[in-house]
Structures are given as C-alpha cells and as structure tokens.
Amino acid sequence: METAANKPKVDSRVIALYNEYIHTTTMTRAQFIARVTRIAGGSAAAAAILPLIEPNYAQARQVAEDDNRLETGYITYDGMTGKVKAYSARPKGAGKLPAVLVIHENRGLNEHIEDVARRAALAGYFAIAPDGLSSAGGAPKDQEAARDLFSKTDAAKIAADVEAGVPFLTKHPNSTGKVGSVGFCYGGGMSLRCAVDVPGLTAAAGFYGRALSPADVAKLKVPIMMHYAGDDPGINGGINDFRAALDASKVSYSINMYPGTGHGFHNDTGAARYNADAAKLAWGRTVAFWDTFLKV
C-alpha cells in the first residue's frame, strides 16, 4: 500500500507538464517526452519517470473485472442523436437499487472509470459509466488519441449524451428511481451540470471539476459534494465565488479540500499524482453522501 514514505518522488514540474499534456491538444507525445527528458536530465531518467505519471490500468485495478460479487457488462441508452455506450455494474442478484452515474475525465470511458463503477456497485449501487465519445465511435485506448478526439467532438453532444444517463437510470427497472452522480475533472464539472440541468437527479458529487457560476448555483435544488486538490490552480480559482454563492443559497453542500494533493489525486492509474490517503477519504465521504441521500 502506498504511504507518504514510499510514494514515488517525481519533480513537480513533470507533474505540471503532464497535466498540461492531458488537458490541452497543443502538445504531442513527442513534445511531452522531449520536455520531460530536459527536466529529468536525460533519456534514461525520463524513461524511469514516465511509468510513474502515465496510466497503468491493470496495476490500479481495485475491483477485478470478473469479481463474482458483481454483474457487469456493456449496455446502451438513447442519447442526443444515437445510442450511448455505457459500462454497467451492480451487486449480483440484487433487486432495485439506488443508481449512480459515473462520469469520465476528458478522454472518454476507460478501464479506470469502469473500475470506479465497480467500486460504486460494491457500495450497494447500480452504477453506469457512459462513454461521452459514443457519437464519435467510442473512446480510443490511446490517451492522446482519446484526448484529441474529445476536443474535436461537439461538446454539447458529449454533455447531452452523458446527461441522458440520468433519465435512463431514473426509469430503469433495476433502479429505485433515486439517482446520484460522480465525476472526475471534466466529469466533476459535468456532475454539477447534471444537478443544474437534468430533472430527476437526487444528489451530485464531483472531484476537481469546474465550479458553477453564481447564476447556476441559484438553479440548484439537490445536495452536492465536491472534492478539490490543495494545489490545483487551473481549477481552484473559482472556488471562493462558488462557496459564497452556495452559502447564499438554500442547497445542502460540502466542499472538501485535500492539502498536499494535486489535480487527479483520486486517479490511481498514475502513481505520481495519486494520493492514497486523500483518495480513500474522498471516496468514503462520497459513498456516505450517497448513502444519506439515495438510500432513504
């Protein structure tokens, strides 16, 4: 298990560079590696660093794909203009359950988000994780290709296809009709958008997602819970205004900050960014939040 003592030490400049690489389309992989090499001081040092910052889905899998406690697989539902592919997970043999929409980062559905859906299922929920890139042929396995495809795909279509998962879950025969959401990075902001835009959502949680404007906060009618990294300048600039607007509203909310962490601290596919203690605490808080509002 990762601890503060054995957590990999990676130059903060490399982590910042990686965050830039995966969140913009202006840097190619060759350019990224060249810049890592300059920071690291050579190609051998860069080669040792790359496995610590890039995704390793197998190493980070917390729940086996064939876990015999779960029923898993792929389903489709109606999106904006066609079918949306989604990964589904629920406790084996369970009846109706409260449901959770698990929303991916800016690279579409991947193995990590499927693993998060299985974690939600083990907590007693019927979880689906849609692929917002379904209309574009589905998320590529290569993260740079997925990032680029995401940026080229109509943002409104991606959002509408993800949001369509909420009414799908409210009416699903395996659902009690109570639906929560959780998302990460892009998905964290989308989870909040679902709370604003989509009737039927019961509660929304998000990790390091874009804050809502005061005008959108005024439209909130469901409880929200947000988790933010202590060092995440690209996201945290809007938190103070967000909190002030929430304080002025009547909605139940929780904003949780995790000092000593950076963007992506819950994503255990990258050892350098992942913070096991903060991730465990934030996930436990999220499940308790769902239990409070969805299992009543």
Q: Does 143 share its domain with 16?
A: no
Q: Does 35 share its domain with 129?
A: no
Q: Does 135 share its domain with 192?
A: yes
pLDDT, position 7: 62
Q: Is residue 83 part of a domain?
A: yes
- Residues whose CB is less than 8 angstroms from the CB of residue 143 and which lie 6 or more positions away in sequence, other chains included: 22, 54, 55, 107, 110
pLDDT, position 296: 84
Q: Is residue 126 part of a domain?
A: yes
Q: Is residue 123 part of a domain?
A: yes
Q: Does 41 share its domain with 160?
A: no
234-250 burial, b at 16+ Cβ within 10 Å, e below that, comes to: ebbeeeeebeebbeeee
Euclidean distance between CA atoms 107 and 10, whole angstroms: 24
Residue 132 near residue 108, CB atoms below 8 Å: yes
pLDDT, position 6: 55
Q: Does 30 share its domain with 67?
A: no
Q: Is residue 155 part of a domain?
A: yes
Match 């939600």 to its residue by tokens: 120
Euclidean distance between CA atoms 293 and 18, whole angstroms: 36
Q: Is residue 30 part of a domain?
A: yes
Q: Does 249 share its domain with 235?
A: yes
Q: Does 48 share its domain with 168?
A: no
pLDDT, position 59: 82
Q: Which of 139, 101, 105, 103 is nearest to 121 (CA)?
A: 101
Q: Model-level pTM?
A: 0.94
Q: Is residue 222 part of a domain?
A: yes
pLDDT, position 58: 85
* CA distance readout (Å), 13 to 9, 49, 50, 52, 263: 12, 12, 13, 14, 13
Q: Is residue 4 part of a domain?
A: no
Show the domain range for 49. Answer: 12-53
* CA distance readout (Å), 82 to 78, 91, 136, 151, 272: 6, 28, 11, 20, 38
118-148 burial, b at 16+ Cβ within 10 Å, e below that, comes to: bbbbbbbbbbbbbbbbbbbeebbeebbebbe
Query: Which DSSP letter does residue 209 get?
Result: P
pLDDT, position 9: 81
pLDDT, position 1: 40
Q: Which of 203, 167, 171 is nearest to 84 (CA)?
A: 167
Q: Does 30 share its domain with 108?
A: no
Number of domains present in the structure of the chain: 2
Return the amino acid letter for 109. Answer: L
**Residue 93 in tokens:** 């043999």
Euclidean distance between CA atoms 183 and 252, whole angstroms: 19
Euclidean distance between CA atoms 23 and 209, whole angstroms: 13
Q: Does 162 share its domain with 47?
A: no
CATH number assigned to the domain comprising residue 275: 3.40.50.1820
Q: Is residue 2 part of a domain?
A: no
User: From the first residue on, what is the mean pLDDT of each consecutive set of 10 residues in the chain (296 residues)?
Assistant: 58 92 91 95 94 88 96 97 97 97 97 97 98 97 94 97 98 98 98 97 97 96 97 93 95 97 95 95 98 95
Q: Does 39 share its domain with 68?
A: no
Q: Does 88 share its domain with 216?
A: yes
Query: Which DSSP letter does residue 109 get?
Result: S
How would you classify residue 24: left for phi > 0, otherwise alpha for psi between -120 and 50, otherwise beta?
Answer: beta
Residue 263 near residue 185, CB atoms below 8 Å: yes
Q: Is 78 helix (H, G, I), strand (E, B) or coil?
A: strand
Q: Does 27 share its domain with 121?
A: no
Euclidean distance between CA atoms 192 and 67, whole angstroms: 31
The values of phi and psi at residue 77, to 5°, are -145, 165
